[in-house]
Amino acid sequence: MSFNNLDQLYRQVIMDHYKTPRNKGALEQDSVNIEMNNPTCGDRIQLTLQVEDGIVKDAKFDGEGCSISMASASMMTQAVKGKDVDTALKLSGIFSDMMLGKEYDDSVDLGDIEALQGVSKFPARIKCATLAWKAMEKGVHDEEKS
Amino acid sequence: MNPEIKSYFPILNQEINGHPLVYLDSAATSQKPTPVIEALKEYYESDNSNVHRGVHTLGNRATEKYEGAREKVQQFINARSTQEIVFLRGTTTAINLVAQSYGRANVEEGDEIVITYMEHHSNIIPWQQLAKERGAVLKYIELEEDGTISLENVRAAITDRTKIVSMVYVSNVLGTMNPVKEVAKIAHEHGAVMMVDGAQAAPHLKIDVQDLDCDFFAFSGHKMVGPTGIGVLYGKKHLLEAMEPVEFGGEMIDFVGLYDSTWKELPWKFEGGTPIIAGAVGLAAAIDFLQEIGLDEIEKHEHHMAAIAMDKMSAIEGLEIYGPKDPAKRAGIVTFNLKEVHPHDVATVLDMSGIAVRAGHHCAQPLMKWLDVTATARASFYLYNDESDIDRLVEGLRSAKEYFSDVF
């Protein structure tokens, strides 16, 4: 059976992140420690960030979930590490637009994240891809409040 | 099972992602046959009106149909009277009603409510909330290793402090059929009432509430070829009579004063607001459809499907099936995982082949914890599925395995 459509979803770079996730684990020194679930399917992510002077100095994630959610978490940590908080949130907005199939700002280098574009064609899987980003957004906002 | 049954379900006659649809998610909701769709259409085209207002002809027709549906349900589950049949939105609403009305009136601090590890969230959370509110203890009956319930464990959990025992008849995850009749007997020996979550049972087995001798029984129309939004609470008359309504408003009142009101008699006192008339009409048509085929026949078919599915699926290396291995102990539900492929990914690959299965925690997180998994995939069979559907599933699973083994 051929699965051309599936290849749009499960791009090689995604499977690479799933197989060998970057930044897996928990930071020993963190300023943000947030857990988030996808209540409809049981995916879970624990995200630790070290934010200093408005910069995401380090990021790690742990959790359980499907290939898309775990690859997306891996890519997200990779993307926001070293960026200032505003840029991290901007990336999150771009990612959200990408998932919703909207036009998105491509003036920013998205790196591996762009591989997740195909997820927008699989509505049931969008929540898998956005979980880590939502955790990051909430974590950063909580940090700002405190 | 008559192979023509499939042709009564128009939705099944379509392609999904370029392949003929194989629908294996009936435990989530069943598909609807033409007679049910027609009954809804006819009701709205010819009889639609509000009920119990009595003066005009349409009102009478709608009332006759609505109350006729109640009689149909009464016979379907062998209740003593139509007064014991309350129409509600579904199983969830029915369990919540019992928890909020019977539970609040009868459960005191230190009393026990007993459920099991295999309950759907709808048969957990209403009791958690009640236990918290009343200072009661929520206890779980342990499962055997194969996911069945032994009467020994039931006896160990139920005590004289137990006020309510609530248990699923057929598990939506394991497909296990629980000995609810025997459990009801034990509950009664201790002065407790027995509630049965029949959401996965009513579509598949003949239900006789008098024989089960349960005190409450809840089920949903949409899982038994009926429409969404209609469900049933059966309760023994003397219990329902003593219970207060939890929803107040039109339709359920007898006399309304400025500061005090009285309620209609059973069952209407629990049916506040304009009732689910079309839903009840559709449910009656669904019952006719199922009875024409015969519930015994349907049950037999599902055991047969479960047996074949388990046999063929087990041949796939790395595929683990949860729940009892003996197909006679389960309804047509097969929950599984494919080694190294997450169930969401399995479900997406199957969907690309036109096969609909469920993936996730199936609204049973405590059971997932007991199984020590975060999620599973589930194929559930109903009267319109046949062996060719199982073959397609097995082929799809092999493709999924292959697809992901290429990746790794």
Domain residue ranges of chain B, discontinuous segments joined by +: 3-24+294-407, 36-291
- How many Cβ contacts (< 8 angstroms) between chains A and B? 58
- Residues on chain A touching B343 (C-beta within 8 angstroms): 66
Per-residue model confidence as pLDDT tens for chain B (408 residues): 788 999 999 999 999 999 999 999 999 999 999 999 999 999 999 999 999 877 899 999 999 999 999 999 999 999 999 999 999 999 999 999 999 999 999 999 999 999 999 999 999 999 999 999 999 999 999 999 999 999 999 999 999 999 999 999 999 999 999 999 999 999 999 999 999 999 999 999 999 999 999 999 999 999 999 999 999 999 999 999 999 999 999 999 999 999 999 999 999 999 999 999 999 999 999 999 999 999 999 999 999 999 999 999 999 999 999 999 888 888 899 999 999 899 999 999 999 999 999 998 888 889 988 999 889 999 999 999 999 999 999 999 999 999 888 665
Pairing assessment for the beta strands B22-23 and B355-356 based on DSSP bridges: parallel
- Residues on chain A touching B359 (C-beta within 8 angstroms): 41
In what order do the strands lie in the sheet containing B193-197? B85-88, B231-235, B216-220, B193-197, B162-168, B112-116, B137-141
For domain B36-291, the CATH class is: alpha beta
Q: Give the containing element (helix H, strand E) for A88.
A: helix A85-99
Q: Quick one: CA dihedral B382, B388, B392, B395, positive or negative?
A: positive
- Range B3-24+294-407: architecture per CATH: Alpha-Beta Complex (3.90)
| Nearest chain B residue to A20, by CA | B408
Tokens read off for B210: 């008098």
Q: Quick one: CA dihedral B259, B260, B264, B268, positive or negative?
A: positive
The structure tokens 């910069």 sit at A55
Question: What are residue B235's DSSP bridge partners?
Answer: B216
Residue B333 amino acid letter: I
* pLDDT tens figures, A79-116: 999 999 999 999 999 999 999 999 998 888 888 999 99
Residues in chain A predicted with pLDDT less than 50, given as ranges, are none
Phi/psi-derived region of residue B107, left when phi > 0, alpha when psi is between -120 and 50, beta in every other case: beta
Model ipTM value: 0.83
| Nearest chain B residue to A1, by CA | B399
Nearest to B403 among A3, A44, A122 (CB): A3
CA dihedral B69, B70, B76, B79 (to 10 degrees): -170
Residue B366 amino acid letter: P
Give how far Cα B76 sits from Cα of A124, B232, B234, Å. 37, 11, 11
Tell me the domains of chain A and their CATH numbers.
4-145 (3.90.1010.10)
